[in-house]
Amino acid sequence: MSGGEEILKVENVVKRFGGITAVNRVSFNVRKGEILGLIGPNGAGKTTLFNCITGVYRPEEGRIVFLGEDITGLQPHVIARKGIVRTWQKVRPFKKMTVLDTVTVGALLRTNSVTEAKRKAEDILKFIEFPEDKFEVMGKEITLIEHKLVDLARAIATEPTLLLLDEVAAGLRPNEMERLASILKKVNKERNLTMIVVEHVMRFVMGLSQRMIVMHEGEKIAEGTPQEIANNPRVIEAYLGTKPL
């Protein structure tokens, strides 16, 4: 659960592509220890906002403050070292590397010792309950849920303060989503890792998040608990295209 301290402040961020405003004056805070859900229809600007936070894009207006420091427009590798790490919508497997070596790559952000990085990678894989008999399996030979877990483990191995998960449940079966949600809650609670989760699977993200933000056509239209969001007329209209009866 949230400890109350604000670790990230997004203030009036604007990102344009030509004549299209993908993110329009979006502001919100993230509290230490919470899981914040970020939802909205396709094209709402969620991933663009992630890209602004992580340095992939530089916003035209506004600023992003992390742990009291303005990080607006810094390079992605600099932001990662400061403690903000992300996963991507599509898994990016290291097909010609083993599971263990792939996670070791993430751990090397914080150490020059391959031995230490590999030990950390083993610990993290065990922590997220990845099958130990698959540690030495090549990336091209594992399943989709296993790829998702490897991506998660690699991100955790960088020792982030804030983890951004972009549609981490996409393509998974219901039982796999339950397994993933359980692991994410364990990571959040036992490692006190703050998360922002972009997701289209409503049952998954509402069961995972303590607080939620809704975007539509580049703007933030709602913020609140999952129950408040589920009953918000503007959210219902944005998703269904009609006003609730």
Query: Per-residue pLDDT tens for 47-60?
Result: 999 999 999 999 99
pLDDT-above-70 percentage for the chain: 96
Q: What is the pLDDT of residue 241?
A: 66
Q: What is the pLDDT of residue 243?
A: 55
Cα separation, 225 vs 242, in Å, equals 22
Statement: residue 2 has pLDDT above 80: no
Statement: residue 245 has pLDDT above 50: no
Q: What is the pLDDT of residue 54?
A: 96
* Average pLDDT over every residue of 211-216: 95
* Average pLDDT over every residue of 83-110: 90
Tally the C-alpha atoms within 13 A of residue 216's C-alpha that lie toward its C-beta.
12
Exposure of 61 by Cβ count < 10 A (0-12 exposed, 13-18 middle, 19+ buried)? middle
pLDDT-above-90 percentage for the chain: 84
Alpha-helix residue ranges (DSSP H) falling in the chain:
46-53, 76-82, 99-107, 114-127, 144-157, 174-190, 202-208, 226-230, 233-240
Q: What is the pLDDT of residue 228?
A: 94
Q: What is the pLDDT of residue 237?
A: 86
* Average pLDDT over every residue of 3-14: 91
Q: What is the pLDDT of residue 10?
A: 98
> What is each CA distance from 105 to 52, 122, 135, 154, 223, in whole angstroms?
24, 12, 14, 7, 36
Q: What is the pLDDT of residue 200?
A: 86
Task: Encode pLDDT of 146-198 as tens digits.
Answer: 999 999 999 999 999 999 999 999 999 999 999 999 999 999 999 999 999 99
Q: What are phi and psi of 33, to 5 degrees?
A: 90, -5
Q: What is the pLDDT of residue 96?
A: 87
Please state, rounded to an integer, the average pLDDT across all residues of the chain: 93
Q: What is the pLDDT of residue 107?
A: 96
Cα separation, 221 vs 123, in Å, equals 41
Cα separation, 155 vs 146, in Å, equals 14
